[in-house]
Amino acid sequence: MNKAFTVIELIFVIIIIFILSIVAIPRLSATYDDAKIAVALNNIGTLVNDLSTYYISKKQYSSDLKKMTSIRDVNYTTPWNPITEEGKLTFYTKDNNSKLEKCVLFEIKNREGNLTISSIANPNGDICKGVQENLIYQSLLGIKLVGGNRVKF
């Protein structure tokens, strides 16, 4: 007695695997994007906290970004101006081609103690779009008065 699979049984197994892969791959991809959005939101929240904490403890922001935060996907896009004591930071996410894309703008001003958070218009990548559509992120937008009894979040 022969105990091998028939060709029909093998074809059915291949068809079932094919159908499962068509259904599962998009769901796994969406889960992967959701995880990257969650990480980006966490980093944005940490950046807001780091900048606020630095200003409160030092009574000023710094021209050296590494002194204020350990978040890596951010840099000065408008260099720190020692005369006006302000600068602009940009937070980056990866676009659909895995290139860094500008997503969130942070404007810091020593004289007013302000931290202004705004979105970069028309992002290409799904991660930045997902971040900008998130309600938690949207609640962060606007001017934050940092320091003293003016703290307002």
pLDDT digits (tens, 9 = 90+) for 63-92: 999 999 999 889 999 998 989 999 999 999
**Tens digit of each residue's pLDDT (9 = 90 or more) over 11-44:** 888 888 888 777 777 766 667 888 899 999 999 9
Residue 152 CB partners (closer than 8 Å, separation 6+): 144, 145
pTM: 0.77
Q: Where are the domains of the chain?
A: 7-150
